[in-house]
Amino acid sequence: MSTRAYGAESDTSGVAPLEIERRDLRPDDVRIEIDYCGICHTDLHFVHNDWGMTDYPVVPGHEIIGRVTAVGEDVKQFAVGDRVGVGCLVDSCRKCHACEEGLEQYCTGGNVLTYNGQDLHDGSKTYGGYSEAIVVSDRFVVQVPDALDPAAAAPLLCAGITTYSPLKHFGVGEGHRVGVIGMGGLGHMGVKLARALGAEVTLFTRSSDKAAEGKRQGAHQVIVSTDDEQMAAAVGHFDFLLDTVPVAHDLNPYIATLKHDGIHILVGMPEPIDPPLDAGPLIFGRRALAGSLIGGLPETQECLDFCAEHGIECDIEMLDIKNINEAYERMQRGDVRYRFVIDMKSLKEG
């Protein structure tokens, strides 16, 4: 079915209207009319081809909230009218150890990204949520609890689960001191979630004007990372760091703020570490550097349910899709409080 969307034709084209094809329903498919889609920094990386892997045209968007408008004959857990979400993945091999554990993000047989991926059945390209509708296999769809505002829930599908998953995996809870580095879409969710899990939370930000806001988000304290005195005062303090910075940056001053056995978890840039990491503080304090990728489908559902239970929502700025290029520029400058969410009415009515 021909479907209206917004996407980029090249790394210099910006994001503009285009038409894409959505497939007819397979037996396990759910057709979703999209109401809201969050803008993740990963969308910018793909549109700008920062990682050299963009296959144009690209239709970004993997923080998708909508309503089910049709289901295939084998679909049992979703019905027309259900409020549902789709995140970063739309398929995986379903057979490897990771898939069997519900960790589809670490699928070794090859998972399929919501956009810039390739369908495992017909080889067609996947297009993301900057569009009026999407068709997805039911295993990769989650239910959105009624208690969540649907627009503010959209970023949970990436920013939420990407911060929830490592906090849960590493057992963050009461008695732990957690530092969240960078307060954008991921960072502000990291602050809220670590707080809800019972940790003592510190926000590291370059932006001193975000200090009051960081505390409002749930941080017990804020460290302005460009202030050497504040950084020096935090040496040896943290059990965990959750690093959401989207570009290569110096990790050494952060590693120094970990206690012995502390873990620095990267979720931001998948790039070489630059400047080089000093191995000494890892060895002399048995500290560890770790990474984490989004979350699997069961844990994504758990994240949405956790947020509903604890009254956690993303702070969003609603966006008319026609203003998307300006929103990208603002996001590039770090000027977003704290997630843009596209109101898809603006696509349907525009």
20 binds ligand NAP (CB under 6 A): no
267 binds, among ligand NAP, Zn ion, none (CB under 5 to 8 A by kind): ligand NAP
- Vertex 304 angle, CA 290 and 244, to 5°: 30
User: In this structure, is the dihedral angle defined by the CA atoms of residues 289, 40, 113 and 79, taken in order, positive or negative?
Assistant: positive
C-beta closer to Zn ion: residue 152 or 199: 152
Intra-chain end-to-end CA distance of the chain, in Å: 19
Minimum Å gap between C-beta 116 and ligand NAP is: 13
C-beta closer to Zn ion: residue 222 or 321: 321
User: In this structure, is the dihedral angle defined by the CA atoms of residues 162, 195, 224 and 63, taken in order, positive or negative?
Assistant: positive
190 binds ligand NAP (CB under 6 A): no
Host H or E run for residue 281? helix 280-285
C-beta closer to Zn ion: residue 107 or 199: 107
324 binds ligand NAP (CB under 6 A): no
Task: State the DSSP code for 276.
Answer: P
For the window 262-281, what string marks contact with ligand NAP as x by the rule CB under 6 A? -----xxx------------
Q: The tokens of 301 are what?
A: 């559902």
Minimum Å gap between C-beta 45 and ligand NAP is: 5
187 binds ligand NAP (CB under 6 A): yes
Q: Looking only at Cα atoms, what is the longest distance across the chain?
A: 63
CA 236 from centre of chain = 29
Host H or E run for residue 19? strand 16-21
> What type of residue sits at position 290?
A
92 binds, among ligand NAP, Zn ion, none (CB under 5 to 8 A by kind): Zn ion
C-beta closer to Zn ion: residue 42 or 225: 42
109 binds, among ligand NAP, Zn ion, none (CB under 5 to 8 A by kind): Zn ion
Minimum Å gap between C-beta 159 and ligand NAP is: 6
Alpha carbons 105 and 85: distance in angstroms, whole number = 16
Contact set for ligand NAP, span 236-255 (CB under 6 A): 244-247, 249
210 binds ligand NAP (CB under 6 A): yes
249 binds, among Zn ion, ligand NAP, none (CB under 5 to 8 A by kind): ligand NAP
For the window 79-118, what string marks contact with Zn ion as x by the rule CB under 5 A? -------------xx--x--x-------x-x---------
How many residues does this entry show for the chain? 350
Closest alpha carbon to 136 in 115, 110, 151: 115
Q: The tokens of 213 are what?
A: 């806001």
Helices 297-310 and 185-196, axial angle in degrees (round to 10) = 70
C-beta closer to ligand NAP: residue 96 or 211: 211
What SS3 class is residue 284? helix
For the window 153-172, what string marks contact with Zn ion as x by the rule CB under 5 A? -----x--------------
Q: Which stretch binds ligand NAP (CB under 6 A): 3-11, 124-132, 139-147, 201-209?
A: 201-209
Alpha carbons 328 and 74: distance in angstroms, whole number = 39
Q: Which residues bind Zn ion (CB under 5 A)?
A: 40, 42, 92-93, 96, 99, 107, 109, 158
